[in-house]
Amino acid sequence: MSTTKRRLLAAAATALVALSAMAAHADYPDRAITITVGFAPGGTSDIAARILGERLTKSLGQAVVVDNRPGAGGSIAAAATVAAAPDGYRIFLSDPGAYAINPIMQPQNAKYDPLTDFTPIALVGQSPLILVVPSSKPFTTTKMLDDYLRANAATATYASSGPAGISQFGAEVYLKRAGSLTATHVPYRGGAPMMEALGKGEADFGVAVLASAVPLIGAGSVRPLALAAPSATPLVAKVPLLEQLGMKGANMVSWVIMMGPKGMPPEIVAKLNKAINEAIVEPDVKERLLKAGIEVYPPTSPAGTGDYLKEEVARYRSYQGELGERLTK
């Protein structure tokens, strides 16, 4: 057999394998898809998952449901995703906690590698962090809060969405930038419980993800003092930026990324990526997410999603190096 003929046969065989793979996944999805969320209802990931799930149900022709599995800063849900079959029927929407923070700060709970144990699918959006205090507290400016913290270092407290989560990172970055202040960390099981506690005055302040804080800001239960973002957002247009108050290097956002178990078929990943990218640019979905405090990302490929995650993991490693023991409280 000639070399040319062998090459033609090999190419034909490769094409047949590819066509077989495409045919095998052509009917995906043929049953409900579950989006796992690692926090209680009401947090950033949960809000985004529910808005996105409604749109994907229509575009994919199957129910897309949300499964809340709170605990260990999102690591319980992440582990469930790692253990799931890589068939596209259980995917995972989460924030920096499960992907970038827990593997660094809580390796005993996060027994997975965020860069090798998942399949990147798509970027969804981001929500800046915002410094808030209970409305029952007298603080109306960051200076008033800082003065209180200096005078009450032994008893002052801040709430977070969980140990070593993004809200603890945000609070500790704020405290350090404000002059190496200290306050006792009071962790809760997610952004919604954290905000509920702040609304009740159970802590002196918190640095929350805007998406979680918006409902209580609107209800008047908490008071926003400053936004940890490089630019203003319409939802809290009158709230000053930390940079405007002279606090450099304190900007921080919580992003939400869709991932799946390692080894998902490229055809299924591509279908999910297309459906998610189409959803986040749809005016109604985009507006609903923005009203919830989440700004959508430009449509991104699975490879681009993976690259973004690598950069964020590196960024949180640098935060860990800077904050050190402050994050172990």
Question: Model's pTM, two decimal places?
Answer: 0.81
Q: Does the domain spanning 128-252 belong to CATH 3.40.190.10?
A: yes
What span, in angstroms and rounded, lies between the C-alpha atoms of 47 and 289?
8
Q: What is the DSSP string of 2-19?
A: -HHHHHHHHHHHHHHHHH
The domains of the chain are located at: 9-124+255-324, 128-252
Q: Do domains 9-124+255-324 and 128-252 have the same CATH topology?
A: yes
Enclosing H/E stretch for 20: helix 3-24
Amino acid at 204: D
Q: Which position has the token pair 């809000």?
A: 47
Distances (CA, A) of 82 to 109, 117, 208, 268: 13, 6, 28, 17
In tens digits, the chain (329 residues) has pLDDT values of: 556 555 545 554 454 444 444 555 789 999 999 999 998 888 788 999 999 999 999 999 999 999 999 888 789 999 999 999 999 999 999 989 899 988 988 888 899 999 999 999 999 999 999 999 999 999 999 999 999 999 999 999 999 988 878 899 999 999 999 999 999 999 998 888 999 999 999 999 999 999 889 999 999 999 999 999 888 888 899 999 999 999 988 888 889 999 999 999 999 999 999 999 999 999 999 999 998 889 999 999 999 999 999 999 998 888 888 888 888 76
What span, in angstroms and rounded, lies between the C-alpha atoms of 295 and 289?
7
Pairing of strands 253-261, 118-134: antiparallel
What span, in angstroms and rounded, lies between the C-alpha atoms of 49 and 149?
36
Q: Give the Cβ contact number of residue 6 at 10 Å.
A: 10
3-state class of 35 per DSSP?
strand
R_g of the chain, CA atoms, integer Å: 22
| Highest CATH level, class, for 9-124+255-324 | alpha beta
- Contact residues for 318 (Cβ-Cβ < 8 A; gap 6+): none
Which of 211, 220, 175, 218 lies closest to 190, judged by CA?
A: 211
